[in-house]
Chain A
Amino acid sequence: MTAGRAPAVLFWLAIALAGEARAADERGPYGLAYVETPDVRLIYFDPTLTYLTPHALRTFTNSLAWQRRVLGWEPWERTTVLLKDFADYGNASATPLPRNTLRFDIAPVSHAFETYSAAERMYSLMNHELIHVSTTDLWSEDERRWRRLFGGKVFPQAAHPETLLYSYLTVPRFTVPRWHAEGAAVFMETWMAGGLGRAQAGFYEMVYRAMVRDGAEFYDPLGLESRGTRIDFQVGANAYLYGTRFFTWLAYAHSPQKVVAWLRRDPGSKRHYADQFEHVFGLTLERAWQDWIAFEREFQARNLARVRSQPVTPHRQLVPTAVGSASRAYYDNGILYGAFDYQGVVAHVGALDTRAGGVRRLADLKDTLLYKVTSLAWDPGSRTLFYANDHHALRDLVALEVDTGKEKVLLKDARIGELVFNQGSLYGVRHENGLATLVRIPHPFTEWKQVHTFPYGTVPYDLDVSPDGRLLSASVGEVSGEHFLRVWPLERLHAGDAKPLSQFDFGQSIPETFVFSPDARYLYGSSYYTGVSNIFRFEVASGAVEAVSNAESGFFRPVPLDDGRLIVFDYTAAGFVPALIEPKPLKDLSAITFLGAEVAKKHPVVTTWQVPPPSNIDETKLITGEGAYLPLRQLGFQSAYPVLQGYKKNLGVGVHAHIDDPLSLGSIGITAAYTPSHDVPENERAHLGVEYRYLGWHAGAAWNKSDFYDLFGPTIRSRRGFQASVGYDHPLVYDEPRRLDLKTDVAYYDNLDVLPRAQNIEATAEQLVTVEAGLYFTDTRRSRGAVDDEKGVVANLVLGGNYADSRWIPGARVGLDLGLALPIGHASLWLRNAAGAADGDPSDPYANFYLGGFGNNYVDSRTEKRYREYYAFPGFELNELNGRSFTRHMLEANLPPVVFASLGTPAFHLAWLRPAVFTSVLYTGDNRYNNAGAQIDLRFSVLHWYEMTLSAGCAVGYRGGSRAAEEWMISLKIM
């Protein structure tokens, strides 16, 4: 093939690509289907999730009517709702950008520690998520004008940073802090579900009661965003905790109607949430926050006094400091085995010595749950722990021999958790397609067997089996929001009879981790029955329940010991602490007061906010269309806006238009610009770029390619002439954080002035074709609160070549990064290696690798850690070093970060500072180069949702053994 025929080849490739896309469309990718009404387009996986569509349509329709009535929201467009089953615990997300969209993972949710509403999940999630969309999509005449001007709401894109401004103009209420978004949604979710929600959750009361008892710091709005969601063990959950509490207090102190007025966008309302707050409440947000904290201290002091009105159960802490979040634990001869997750250490299974107090790490965990960490089972006979990984994907079952530390993955993607060991088998609960199935996993634990599938909405969790193996217990949530403790004879369950032997109805108080006593007479567990999480014991024979503790904050996860004592996890402001108590049946316990209940008493209007039951809707009368979801037939105009572009450091003006389908499975971006500069030849002043993506396919074409960030340099991405490319990316292994991606790309260039990847090297060929296919592997870990990867492996192998001047020049490069965590919090050490080789004449620019420089632009959109890339070599000029082959070895130390508190404003504040030092050696042929350098990255938050990084670095380069040059770098990474 000659380079001149390349455009034709690319054309046919594009046709084939389009054909492939069309063929895929005829059947709908991945079985996606849709059903729509005038208000919602519900997309789901057919046939597995089809059964949920009536319920989803009904709950959506009811919730939308509520949002219209209470918040005055008239949706800007039809809302898209996606049902998927990609995670083993339910969750959902929402955004008004670029279109109103809700995404549901339909698995049962985790109720651990009462951190989620007891209500039926679709009903509750729909209400919660639609609050997010309604309170951000709300529009006034101002927003209507901007949206019409841009053709829609503008989604911020790194390639065009002006979109940050356009986004604010079109969706100003999206620019709110996370605590505001979640606080509004959780507060409303509670009353929309008739009181079942986190505004009345025991966990939320406990957190503040413990903070007051322990004298912990209350974050102000700035501190919450800058520090509270990063260094606290609850990390991002603090946004929910603080937001919910502040909204609840506002309703209590100022009225729920004022809360609604704050959220609405009526004529005369203010664009910015903080201005609107002052407009409605007559005081600043900061002042109100301080009022709330003062109130909270008194409120919790009264609750503590109520608890202390009865003798508080003494407890002895087994370790001096909190272990963050903790799983169910098992006691064995002085050792407490459990899974722990706290700041600065990767989540792990550990052995906690209750006598000496230390924790021995046994195995790292991946993709853990925030509070529950993982489900853990213990076989004392073989001294093996069983646990699950990948809780937000498809769970694996793993065995760990505690004495040898030997790990083995037993079942991959089995989707089973809630594990408990019973006489050679494991029992667990499998989540698939929204249903919960009790399964048995017989030895050798390599396959599972269905025991019983519960109806939709009935969800068992926290299993245990009696020591004699006859009885199985579980907490069970029902559609009504009631949660039960139930006990079944296992034999009857296996025979298909799911009628419990005995049960206890805890109402909306979640029964937590009930476990059998050694004599099987009792089940011990915890519940917020009195508002405080205390330990209760359930007598299996009689069904009688007694409280056996009076905790100040909360006791959880009891581990009955042979001597009758219990190990419990005591909640403190710093996390859970294992402790010993003597359980004694108590006759008197005082209940605490829930702030949410006080709101209902003082302002009964919230009791009128319940969303009607889904059964009052006949969705069949609303449906206007249904069928296979074909993304390419759903492509629609998203928005268009003016942009600034750079062409070889010259300023151009242009316009960008974006077209995509409602799920963004396919998209087309078009940028046209003109550079009115006399420094640019006339035939290079016009610029056009088109990018196309559909699932794994990507293609693009450009004429005199331009780039916003070329305005700043030193790296220039704009190129003269015509270029076109096509490629396909596919994840061969997707097991986050472990993944292996295949990436391919074929590109054609015509009339280039410099090489595509080496701006300082003249292009000697009129036409150029580049081919590249690479495997990219990554498996890295980071601990809670980390700002970078702290350990793991990153590797890649890329094969390809250049075709120029009728010569084919093959080449290859490899990379291997190995990292380990240092004992100092969040510090790590990395060895980063790269090597490459190409065939051809050493003087041929197409047969060389070009390296040098940091590569960061003064204003940039790519990764700030550019010195890690194979083509970078700080201390030398860009592209200064070259060779047909090279090897580079870098030792990098990432030092502990500094996390800032309250430095800036909530909308613009410093988050953290991350220092790193590195030194490298590079060989190109017979030449040897060295460098040593440092880089500091200062991360700050802009407009609550966007993170920017200001980086500064310096490096000294050595050629042979002599100092060659030094380089300074400063760069602002946008978004």
Chain B
Amino acid sequence: MNVPSRKPYAWAGIAIAAVAVVVAGHYLFGFPPGVDNLTGTITPAERYRAPQQISAADVKLGDQSVAQLLQNDAVVKLINDPEFQALAANRKALEALSALAAAPKALEALSAHPSAFHAIAMDAMSYKKFAGKPEALAASAEAFKKMNPKALEALAARPEALEAMAAHAEAFKAIAARPKALDALAAHSSALAALSARPNALDAAARASMDAKKK
């Protein structure tokens, strides 16, 4: 009588056990951490790592458009431009520009022909011609016309900023809707100074607060 060999079962058992050990090790101690290409027999150190870590899907973020807009060099330069800040101080002009930002075609046209700013500042009809949504923009044409010429020059000198504004029209509208926020952006470093320089401001307990990390 042929007695069936137990070896295949033994090997299968060993293999299953080995797989179980590796799987358990991976989930309990997070090793090996993606070592597919690590050569040799180098042993990683064991560190406990929970099987479930938070992922990008667990991070709920709000509207990032303004934060993203401020990653753009042209926009940052524009916001820090004193002439543009003068424009931003003019609520009507800012609203006009905001409306323009919502009409990307118009901005694109202006980007290609920055000198057109001067023309539209002089002529409301010219402004309407440039704007992609003449009806929507007509109301702000007068305000746009009244823009500070120097501010217009500041804009005209930066066609790349206009492109960035067109690409982030919603973010620009969000900023323009809150002129003081624009002030705050332009004056971020002064806000830093104003709030950080005073021990009583923000940090009443600065002398006795605990950090997450020693700097």
Taking Cβ atoms with an 8 Å cutoff, the residues of A that contact B are 27-28, 30-31, 45-55, 58, 82, 84-86, 89, 91-95, 97-98, 101, 103, 109, 115-116, 119-120, 122-125, 128-129, 132, 155-156, 174, 178, 181-182, 185, 193-196, 200, 202, 235-237, 239-240, 369-370, 391-394, 413, 430, 432-435, 437, 439, 447-450, 453, 455-457, 478-482, 504-509, 528-532, 542-547, 585-594, 596-597, 600-601, 606-607, 610, 613-615, 619, 660, 663-665, 667, 693, 695-696, 729-731, 733-734, 736, 739, 741, 945-946, 975
Contact = CB atoms under 8 A, between A and B. Distances in A.
A132 B211 CA distance: 9
Contacts of A194: 49-50, 52-53
B118 interface: no
What are the 4 A-B residue pairs with the smallest beta carbon separation, nearest first? Answer: A507-B33, A194-B50, A505-B34, A734-B193
A98 B205 contact: yes
B174 interface: yes
A546 B189 contact: no
B49 A27 contact: no
A237 B59 CA distance: 30
Interface string B147-190: 00000000000000000000000000011001011011101111
B68 interface: yes
B191 A123 contact: no
Contact of B212 (A31, A128, A508, A528): A128
Given A450-B71, A529-B44, A613 B213 contact: no
B200 A741 contact: no
Contacts of A594: 45-47
A664 B201 contact: yes
16 contacts: A48-B67, A51-B64, A55-B60, A84-B195, A91-B215, A92-B212, A109-B213, A185-B210, A370-B214, A393-B196, A430-B71, A450-B71, A479-B54, A480-B55, A529-B38, A601-B48
Given A594-B45, A734-B192, A50 B66 contact: yes
A946 B49 CA distance: 39
Interface string B20-45: 00000000111111100111111111
A196 B195 contact: no
Given A82-B202, A585-B40, A31 B67 contact: no
B135 interface: no
Contact of A92 (B56, B57, B195, B211): B211
Given A155-B204, A439-B73, A504-B34, 6 more contacts: A48-B67, A54-B60, A196-B53, A391-B215, A456-B61, A739-B197
Contacts of B209: 93-95, 103
A51 B63 contact: yes
B201 A547 contact: no
B contact face: mostly helix, strand, loop, or mixed: loop
B38 A545 contact: yes
A775 B49 CA distance: 55
A330 B92 CA distance: 54
B53 A528 contact: no
Nearest to A547: B42
A193 B195 CA distance: 32
A115 B42 contact: no
B41 A587 contact: yes
B29 A597 contact: yes
B43 A530 contact: yes
B62 interface: yes
A181 B211 CA distance: 10
Contacts of B178: 31, 46-47
A588 B47 contact: no
B126 interface: no
A453 B68 contact: yes
Given A51-B63, A542-B37, A508 B202 contact: no
A545 B67 contact: no
Contacts of A45: 184, 191
A911 B212 CA distance: 24
Contacts of A391: 215
Contacts of A182: 210
Contacts of A450: 71-73
A591 B46 contact: yes
B211 A52 contact: no
A481 B66 CA distance: 26
Contacts, number: 321
A6 to B, nearest CB: 27
- Which of B31, B67, B212 has the most C-beta atoms of chain A within 10 angstroms of its own C-beta? B212
Contacts of B61: 51-52, 54-55, 456
Contact of A665 (B52, B58, B180, B202): B202
B3 interface: no
A200 B181 contact: no
B70 interface: yes
Contact of B66 (A48, A202, A439): A48
Nearest to B72: A450
B48 A600 contact: yes
Given A27-B180, A48-B185, A236 B214 contact: yes
B201 A663 contact: yes
B39 A614 contact: no
B194 A730 contact: yes
Contacts of A731: 193-194, 197
A504 B194 contact: no
Given A194-B53, A481-B53, A545-B37, A51 B67 contact: yes
Contacts of A55: 59-61
Contacts of A586: 40, 42
B34 A506 contact: yes
A31 B48 contact: no
A31 B70 contact: no
Contact of B62 (A50, A457, A508, A696): A50
Given A30-B191, A47-B181, A482-B33, A98 B50 contact: no
A85 B191 CA distance: 10
Contacts of A89: 215
B201 A610 contact: no
Nearest to A453: B71
A585 B41 CA distance: 12
A392 B58 contact: no
B50 to A, nearest CB: 3
Contacts of B56: 455, 457, 478-480
Contacts of B31: 507
